[in-house]
Amino acid sequence: MHPATSPTAETVEASPSQATASTGRLRNLLLSLTPHPTQNTSYTSYPPIPTTSPERLAATANDKPLDLYNLPCRSSSTSNDEKKTVLYLAYGSNLAHSTFEGSRGIRPLSQINVQVPSLRLTFDLPGIPYSEPCFANTGIRHPSHPSQAPESEPQEQQTNSNDDSATPTAEPSSWTKGLIGVVYEVTLADYTHIIATEGGGSAYNDILIPCHPLPPSPTDPVPSIPLSVPFMAHTLFCPPSSPRIHRPDPDHAQASPRYLALLTVGAKERDLPLEYRRFLESLQPYTPTSQKQELGRFIFLMMWGPFVAIVLALQKMFQDERGRSPKWLVWASGALFEGMWGSYDNIFLGIFGEGERTVKTGKGEDARRVARGWAEWRRKSRMLRLGDGDEKEKAGMLSVV
């Protein structure tokens, strides 16, 4: 799948890609242990950022995708490197001042709000079940599938107090006008730092994507077909073909309240269109709706949290300025991420219930869900002991036992 102007960046080796895709997201997983901010969270006031000049936008006509392996670091950049700037497209948590200027320590030289008709916002990067189910990514936007959510998304069903079924909640709305985001002008060394904090670059391709400046007022409607003069901006694209962890249904997971708050607060701080901000505010966050899910979250974090903390500490000790870790740590990070999701799919989901998407739980459903989960776990345990069952299913169990 390719957008209007196809990305040309090559896919890197599978082994570093898979594990570094995991390590980039592992940095965010410990945030699950902290309280979730709300829309009313107070944040530091930052000085205004100037708008990117038309001359700088026009200069992108000759830009080419960057080699993520050979970018200058902050400590090794030359005076010539410091004069070079990159236009970087942000659309997820990097919209928020607290993330981009705060956690990442990046001070943009200029910025401009944009519409990207060839991309759409997705939430298909797996995080940690029950706490941070997923993170934002981009997908190719096709004319036949322009929405953020599938057009065939089932509508939420009404249930009465005697209904014992658990019904996944549907998204309240979808967005049909392409990706909305901010293009920051940053130094080349700062762009290297962004890549390092996003996972060292091995999980991503650097691509150039055409962006259209949005109308100046946030109250102006977002055009269905943008007519403003486009320019080219760099962004980090994690393609579906990358060897990262994949979930069976990439549209299934819902982001946490903490993560969605970063997007909605960031969209307000960057003065994105009100129309788009209303869409972000309408997104359903993942919320546990039963005591068993809350118990599952606690046990899952107690089980995997210490290992995540150890890997993060080792990464901080051994990775270079580009965010790249030694091969043994790359392998350990990937194995940890696969183990977490394997334990969720084969154990936690059946016993404690949904850890990726909010469900409405009817009367008595908790007890039946736990009973079904234990029965399934006993069946699989017996299968492993006696050698019964499908070989593929046994192999899947052995990967997490």
Cα 112 to the center of its chain, rounded Å: 22
3-state class of 121 per DSSP? strand
- Torsion angle (degrees, nearest 10) of CA 363, 368, 373, 378: 170
**Residue 151 known to be catalytic:** no
| Residue 236, token pair as written in the block | 């980090």
Neighbour tally for 120: CB within 10 Å: 23
What's the Cα-to-Cα distance from 304 to each of 19, 144, 248, 311, 339, rounded to whole Å?
A: 17, 41, 22, 11, 9
Rounded distance between C-alpha atoms, residue 33 and residue 30, angstroms: 6
Q: SS3 letters for 122-177?
A: EEEEEEECCCEEEEEEEEECECCECCCCCCCCCCCCCCCCCCCCEEECCCCCCCCC
Residue pair 71/191 in contact by the 8 Å Cβ criterion: yes
Catalytic residue among 198, 354, 356, 365: 198
Rounded distance between C-alpha atoms, residue 287 and residue 279, angstroms: 19
Instruction: Give the contacts of 207 (CB within 8 A, at least 6 positions apart).
Output: 7, 8, 9, 65, 234, 235, 237
Q: What are phi and psi for residue 89, nearest 5 degrees? A: -85, 120
Q: Which residues are annotated as a binding site for substrate?
A: 88-93, 259
**Active-site residue set:** 198
